[in-house]
Amino acid sequence: MRDKDLYKELLGISSPWMVRDVLMGTEAETITVVVELRPGSTLDCPQCGQSGCQIKDRRVRTWRHLDTCQFKTLIEVPLPRTDCSECGVKTVSPPWAEKHARFTLLFERFAIDALLEMSLTGTCRLLRISWDEASGIISRAVARGLDKRDLSQLRRIGIDEKSVRKGHHYITVVYNLETSKVIWIGKNRTEETLDSFFASLPEEVLLGIECITMDMWKPYRASCRKWIENADEKTVLDRFHIQRHLNGAVDKVRRQEHKALKDQGIDLLEKTKWDWLYNVENLSAKREARFEDLRQFDLKTVRAHAIKENFRHFWDYVYMANARKFFKKWYFWATHSRLQPIITVAKSFNNHLDRILTFFRLQATNSTAEGINNKIQSVKKKAYGFRNTDRFINAIYFHCGGLELYPL
């Protein structure tokens, strides 16, 4: 088979296109496949579809294709512009690439596979493309996926914020709790940010939302009340965030007590932060032994930890009424502990108790968010951090959105 016939088959080129030449650049390790229209061909207008348009002129364009052995392969085409009586002069879109793309469809499919499996830097090195070019492939893949996505069956959503970088730079992430996929990302974590998500949904989808999990962030709550009918009855304050608030209170007690002890020359709580924050059953043998020793001392941190661990039983109840009774007893203990961080958190829980208790009716948690947050952190690490928020958002959609990423 001749080179021209071989590349015609490999590229799937059909009339009115033809392979005119195949050029090898040995020193540059490139193969250039020259493609052009057959003489005398007419084309349809790429905008309105009018047939029989004359060719006004041609402008040379080049696309990167899959490598031939170790040789970088390029497709070079004098790309015609049609002169349409209705639309004027329009550039023809070739069948082997998307509009404005610099890569063939087959190359982009391969690049997407590589980007899903490897770091951004590793993919760039393997495919011999730049960071900007790889980001462009991700951006086009995400745009394709978002265009094809169907949210008509959206019923249960989770809302969470994610830090982009230090200095209170956040994004808002919305999840489909039933599919464990990211469905929307917005810059910042304001009420207006979440408003943008709800505004993008058709009314019938808004009416179909049955459950929303979130933390106690007031702007999110305000936005939900604005857009979702009977939002408070559908809102669950997520148990993972609740437990995180308790962990924060315990750690604050530990830090205060550690400072007071160090001032007396006692380093009893030195390097024990995670001993108090891990669930007891998850402690290593070494930590467990040290933890048991610490529990023998009359420490404020020991009392704070006991209150935190006791609250875990709250989630074991089946009936809301029993859980409410448990909370009443726990609340009395916490608010009489003389531990201000614990008291503050307990009062906050009490203020939001109805939305915490909704858990027992809807049985919803943001465990999906916790799993995806770990994946998002991995995405961020693979790219050595994202300074550009738009690229970070695209990367999250790419890896966590469950989108149809491939070109046709």
The reply to whether 258 falls in a domain is yes
Asked if residue 329 and residue 277 are part of one domain, the reply reads yes
Task: Confirm if 48 and 85 have CB atoms less than 8 A apart.
Answer: no
Task: Give residue 279's pLDDT.
Answer: 77
* Per-residue pLDDT reduced to its tens digit, 181-190: 999 999 999 9
On the question of a cis peptide bond just before residue 16, with omega within 30 degrees of 0, the verdict is yes
The conformation of residue 103, written as its DSSP 8-state character, comes to B
Q: What is the pLDDT, as a whole number, of residue 356?
A: 92
Count of C-beta atoms within a 10 Å radius of residue 192 = 11
Q: Is residue 160 part of a domain?
A: yes
Residue 344 shares a structural domain with residue 247: yes
Using alpha carbons only, what angle is made at residue 197 by residues 152 and 115, rounded to the nearest 5 degrees? 80
In this structure, is residue 142 part of a structural domain?
no
Domain presence at residue 101: no
Do 249 and 327 lie in one domain? The reply is: yes
SS3 198: helix
Task: Give per-residue pLDDT as tens, 303-339.
Answer: 999 999 999 999 999 999 999 999 999 999 999 999 9
Terminal-to-terminal C-alpha distance of the chain: 28
Whether 55 contacts 46, CB under 8 Å: no
Q: Are residues 213 and 326 in the same domain?
A: no
Distance CA 74, CA 63 (A): 6
CATH number, position 167: 3.30.420.10
Q: Which residues of the chain have pLDDT under 50?
A: none
Tally of structural domains, the chain: 3
Instruction: Write out the residue range of the structural domain in which residue 67 sits.
Output: 1-91
In a domain, 4, yes or no: yes
Which tokens go with 274? 């995670």
Both tokens of 71, joined, read 């040789």
d(CA 252, CA 246): 10
178/273 same-domain check: no
10 Å CB burial of residue 11 (0-12, 13-18, 19+) is buried
Q: Which of 41, 66, 91 is the last residue of a domain?
A: 91
* Dihedral of alpha carbons 247, 259, 262, 339, sign: negative
Residues 374, 375, 378, CA angle at the centre, nearest 5°? 90
Question: Is residue 196 situated within a structural domain?
Answer: yes
User: What is the SS3 assignment for 401?
Assistant: coil
Indicate if 27 and 72 belong to the same structural domain.
yes
173 and 68 within one domain: no
Q: What is the DSSP letter of 92?
A: P
| Residue finishing a domain among 91, 120, 135 | 91
What H or E segment, with its residue span, contains residue 397?
helix 389-400
Sign of the dihedral through C-alpha 143, 138, 371, 353: negative
pTM over 0.85, yes/no = no
User: Is residue 245 located within the same domain as residue 358?
Assistant: yes
Judge whether 230 lies within some domain. Answer: yes
- Domain match, 233 and 375 both: yes
- Both 249 and 353 in a single domain? yes
C-alpha 25: how far from chain center = 42
Which residue, 144, 205, 138, is CA-closest to 174?
205
User: What pLDDT sits at residue 386?
Assistant: 63
In a domain, 215, yes or no: yes
Both 219 and 312 in a single domain?
Answer: no
Helix (H) or strand (E) holding 66: strand 54-68
Domain boundary residue, one of 91, 115, 135 = 91
pLDDT at residue 289 in the model: 80
Strand order in the sheet with 235-237: 181-187, 169-176, 156-165, 211-214, 235-237
Can you tell me the distance from the alpha carbon of 317 to that of 185, in angstroms, rounded to the nearest whole number?
34
357 lies in the same domain as 283: yes
